[in-house]
Every structure is written in C-alpha cells, then in structure tokens.
Amino acid sequence: MEYQEAKDKFISTWGSLGTLWGINKAMAQIQSLLFISTKALSMEEIMEELKISRGNTSMNLRQLMDWGIVTKELIPGERKEFFTTEKDVQELARHIAKERSRREIKPVIKILKEVSSIKDDGTEKTKELIKQTKALYDLAETADAMMNKIVNQEQNWITKSLLKLIK
Amino acid sequence: MEYQEAKDKFISTWGSLGTLWGINKAMAQIQSLLFISTKALSMEEIMEELKISRGNTSMNLRQLMDWGIVTKELIPGERKEFFTTEKDVQELARHIAKERSRREIKPVIKILKEVSSIKDDGTEKTKELIKQTKALYDLAETADAMMNKIVNQEQNWITKSLLKLIK
DNA sequence: CTAAACTTTCAATAATTATTGAAAGTTTAT
DNA sequence: ATAAACTTTCAATAATTATTGAAAGTTTAG
C-alpha cells in the first residue's frame, strides 16, 4: 500500500467511524486530514483535499474548534487562517471524552436521576420504573466518573497499571 | 412527576441517546419500554405503546435480538410472540460493549494496523502518517481491551463465585 | 477610506436514513 | 389440507441531516 492509498483509507475510515459516534463525516475527515498533516492547513487546502465546499469547511472547522481539538494558527505574513489539530492522541482522547461527557452523558444522568426519584405510589409498574432507572443511573454515574478519571490521569500511571491488569 | 410522565421522559431520553450511539430511535425506544415493563410484551402492545408501525416494530425487534439484548419469550397457550430485554444493567452493558467492539472498534483497529504498516519511503509525510496512525492504533487497542476488561468484571466475579460453589 | 482578501451565514437542495403499510410468508389449530 | 393468526419483507414515502454556493460580513493593506 502506497502513501496516497493509505492516507485515503485512513481519512475515510476515520470519517465513517465519526458518523457512528455522532460526529458528522466532514468534521471527522477534516480532523483526520489535519491529524496526519505535517503542517497547518488553510481552508483552501482542506476544501481542495477533501473536495468539500467552503461553507461546509467553515462550519465544520468551527465545530472542531468548539470541541477543542482544532485550533487556528496564525502564520506571520499570511493573511489567511491556518488550522491544526491536537497531535497527541492522549490529549485528543481526553478532549473528546470530556466533551462527550458534558454534552451527552451528563444530561442523560440528570434525567435518570429525576425519573428514578418519582414518588413510589406502591404499584408494581412504578416500583419497576424506579428500580430500573435507578440501576441505570448508578451505572451511568460510575461509567462517567471512571471515564473521566482514566482520561484525566497522567498517561503512564494509568496505562501501566491497566496493561498489567489486562495482560 | 407522575408515573406516565416519568415513563415517557425515560423512553424519549433513552431514545435520543441511542441516536447518538448509532442505534436508531425506534430500536432504543423499544428496548427502554421493555426495560421498565413488568412483563414480556407482544408486538401489538409495543406498536400501540410507541405508536409505531408493525413493520418498524418487527425490524427493530430483530435488530435488538441480533444485539443480544432482547429475547423472544413463548408464553404457554399464547399464539403470538412476547419480548423481554435483559433486565440486569451490568449484563446489558456487557452485551452492548461486546457488540460495539465487534462491529465498530475491531474493524477500525484492523484498518489502523494496515495503514500504520505501510512501508516507510523516507518522506516526512509518510513518517507522519505512520507515526500518527500507529499512536491511534495503540490507543484504540488499549481502550478496547480496557472496555472489555471492565465490562467483564461482573461476569468474572459471578463466574468465580459459581466456581467456588461448585467445587 | 476603499478595495481586495478572506470567512461566515443561511436558504435551497441533495443525500441519507427511518418509517409505513400492504403483500407475501410462516406457523398452528382443527 | 385449509384457514386463521401471526410475522416478515420491501418498495414507496416521509423525516432528518449534510452540503452547497452565493450573498453578507469582516479584516487588513495601502
């Protein structure tokens, strides 16, 4: 496999994975492109490379910046803006996990808490609703806390101990 | 908040969360409904409750069965089929994690391995592609292994206790 | 200040994905 | 074997989501 084929394969795979995780294709592809680029890219270069429109590029770059994984870089003497993504995978994972927790998991946990706190009127169906949503609440809380803990630790400590556990 | 409101809130929240995770709305809603139901439900009851068509119900029940989180239950003397979901949240999480790993994560890991194994032609861009996809590969492998480990903990615990009992 | 260079916005449109419902298929009771 | 009870399939359609491109907005050089 040559460079170009490998590059295209990577970008399209990452793009389709993004879709499954609630991130749209263009957004995931722009991030992939930046991730393997050796230099910051301009909007023009991104459009050209991925064959997407100016508007699409602009909107998705903004979203990536909102997620905190892409940053503008001003190059002296250049009028246009250049973009780079976080290059360290650990840091990237940390950002993504943090955002997903904030945007998706936390709001669900809040609803689960509300639902599991309704007053028990003694009927079987109410008892079941309370019991099951309480169990989900506990699971979601634990999973969320665990994810944040893992993702916020210093790389080596956690990787080492987990690798020990796994192996 | 009364029972009906809490129930609706739970089903719609869970439904919209599903969408974010690559599971469609109807599928997530059917699972939620079964999750808080005190008894197995027929297709008729599910359609009625969620206001969805017969075809939609049938297709999504099948998908849920493919995921291994819903099962058919035959009730003696009844001609129609009844459905239940896994009621234990740990077991549910285990199933979902296992399926996601198999369907989404493993295939991506495979591509990452391929891409990161292209021959190094000495150019900077090839070196960068190899370096970055290799880093992602390591991260994905670790994360996947970790997830499976965590999610299988409960089972291991149970397995261990059972083994003790048997021996 | 003005014009060129560049970015953002957003209504229109395209692409994708979910849903319906009726016909075809299957199973079971008699 | 047949008819009723039930489930599945799938082409048509609806709903949702992504993308375009041109107009409006912004910044900077001169």
pLDDT of residue A44: 97
List the 10-69 stretch of A: residues with Cβ below 8 A of B.
10, 13-14, 17, 19-22, 35-38
B160 — pLDDT class (breaks 50, 70, 90): low
Query: What's chain A look like in SS3?
Result: CCHHHHHHHHHHHHHHHHHHCCCCHHHHHHHHHHHCCCCCEEHHHHHHHHCCCHHHHHHHHHHHHHCCCEEEECCCCCCCCEEEECCCHHHHHHHHHHHHHHHHHHHHHHHHHHHHCCCCCCCHHHHHHHHHHHHHHHHHHHHHHHHHHHHHCCHHHHHHHHHHHHC
State mean pLDDT over B67-91. Answer: 94
- Fold annotation for A3-85: Arc Repressor Mutant, subunit A (1.10.10)
Residue type, B116: S
Give the distance from residue B13's alpha carbon to the nearest chain A alpha carbon, in angstroms.
Answer: 7
Nearest CA in chain A to B35: A132
Q: Which residue has the tokens 């979902």?
A: B96
Q: Which residue has the tokens 């089972």?
A: B155
Per residue in A110-123, pLDDT (tens digit) is 999 999 999 999 99
B158 — pLDDT class (breaks 50, 70, 90): very low
* Mean pLDDT across chain A: 89
Backbone angle region of B118, left / alpha / beta, with phi > 0 → left and psi within -120 to 50 → alpha:
beta
* Mean pLDDT across chain B: 89
pLDDT of residue B165: 53
Measured in residues, chain B has a length of: 167
Per residue in B31-73, pLDDT (tens digit) is 999 999 999 999 999 999 999 999 999 999 999 999 999 999 9
SS3 B33: helix
SS3 B90: helix
pLDDT of residue A118: 96
Tell me, yes or no, if A75 comes closer than 8 A to chain B by beta carbon.
no
CA distance A89 to A70: 13
Q: Point out the residue among B36, B124, B128 whose CB comes nearest to the CB of A132.
A: B36
pLDDT of residue B164: 56
How many A-B residue pairs are in contact by the CB < 8 A criterion?
125
Query: Which residues in chain B are closer than 8 Å to A150, comparing Cβ atoms?
Result: 146
> For a pLDDT cut of 90, what percent of chain A falls above it?
65
Query: Which residues in chain A are closer than 8 Å to B132, comparing Cβ atoms?
Result: 35-36, 87, 89
Per residue in A31-72, pLDDT (tens digit) is 999 999 999 999 999 999 999 999 999 999 999 999 999 999
State mean pLDDT over B10-15. Answer: 91
Alpha-carbon dihedral angle through residues B24, B29, B30, B36, given to the nearest 10 degrees: 150
Closest protein CA to C1' of nucleotide C4, residue: A79
Q: Is the pLDDT score of B152 beyond 80?
A: no
Nearest to B126 by CA among A133, A119, A5: A5
Nearest CA in chain B to A106: B17
Interface test with B, best of A2, A4, A7, A10 (most B CBs within 10 A): A10
Name the least confident of A127-136, B19-28, B75-84: B19-28
- Per-domain residue ranges of chain A: 3-85, 89-166
SS3 B142: helix
